[in-house]
Every structure is written in C-alpha cells, then in structure tokens.
Amino acid sequence: MKVLGLIGSPRKDGNTEKLVNAILDGAAEKGAEIKIYHLARMDLKPCKGCMSCKLEGKCIIDDDMQELYKEILSADAIVLGSPIYMWEITALTKTIVDRLIALTCWQPCAKPEYPNLLRIKTRLVLAYTYGNPDPNNFNQYFKYMEGLFSFLGFDVQGSIWVSGTIGPDDILHQSEIFEEARALGKKL
C-alpha cells in the first residue's frame, strides 16, 4: 500500500508537518510505503480555468503538479495537511485542490448527470493546524472540506485538527494528538 503525504505549510518542520508525519508513521507501522511532498518546495501554479484538461485530456500547465497527478493516481491513500490561514487552507494547498479538476470527468461536466468524477476511490485523511485556541472554531469548514473531497470521489477517512499551534513546536505540547494521528494512519 502506498500512502502519499502532501504538506501545504510553508513552515519547514512546523506543526502541520509534525501532524502529517504522525499519521504517516501510523500507516508505516502497518507496512505502508510512504512518500511525502512539501508543496512549498515545489513549482505549483494556479489553475487557469482554461478547461484544456477537458479538451486535451490533461492539464497543460507545465509544473510540478504533473508529477503530483501521477502520485495521486497511484496512491492508495493520501494525507493532506494544511494550516488554517484566514479561515481556510493555505494558498499552496488550495492550488492543489483547484488543480484536481484535471482528474475529474474527461468530458465536459455540463451534462445533467454527474459521472463519478475521480474514477479512483483513494482513501483520504485531512489534517489541519491553527493558532486559535478554540478546538471547535473551524468545524463547519472541516465538514465542508470532507464533503468536497467525498464529492470528488475520495473515500474520506476523517479529519484531525490541532488548535493553539502558533509557534512552530506548539503541537509538541499536545502530545495526546500524536496517538490519535497514528491511529488514523493505521486505519488507512
């Protein structure tokens, strides 16, 4: 089994990376092959909305997303991690989400019936960190994101989030979260 970790934080070795790594550690304990991408270290351009992916069968933007498409399609499970900035995932992470349109139905989606958009049933865990100390502050947003990825065809296994993580090591003061994260990874 191959589990892909996508880290959407610009902060190296920060809270989000530690959370994603804990989930991946759990998956590795069960024998999964792990591969990690740090989105901040990649050349990722935003979607142009040109719909060439629908006409050509692939995205025409020549950047590192081409490699990520292959990785996403070959993964059995994905852990997508992002800090919350301004009430949503980072721009880095949103770029990946927007670019997933190239993996949706290959014919124009203006048909009255919606096909199974991603013809894969890849398992997905969403991982979030944020500075606000209220652990329930973004629950509606997290449910929205689970719904979005379910609509796209992912088999959403759940979400995990850690509040009160402003400093790069604040997550280390909430050690109980690591056991929960490893358990999510084992479930994958």
Give me 38's structure tokens.
């740090």
pLDDT of 118 reads 56
pTM above 0.85, yes or no: yes
Backbone angles phi, psi at 79, to 5 degrees: -115, 115
Per-domain boundaries in the chain? 2-187
Q: Say what the pLDDT of residue 20 is.
A: 98
- Topology given in CATH for the domain delimited by 2-187: Rossmann fold (3.40.50)
Distance (Å, whole) CA 126 – CA 16: 11
Integer Cα distance of 71 and 169 in angstroms:
29
Which amino acid is present at 179? E
85: DSSP letter: E
Beta-ladder partners of 34: 3
As averages over each run of 10 residues, the pLDDT of the chain (188 residues) reads 97 97 98 98 96 81 95 94 97 96 64 47 95 96 96 92 96 96 95
Give the single-character DSSP code of 112: S
Q: What phi, psi does 152 have (nearest 5°)?
A: -75, -10
DSSP 107: S
- For the packed helices 15-29 and 176-187, what is the interaxial angle rounded to 10 degrees? 50
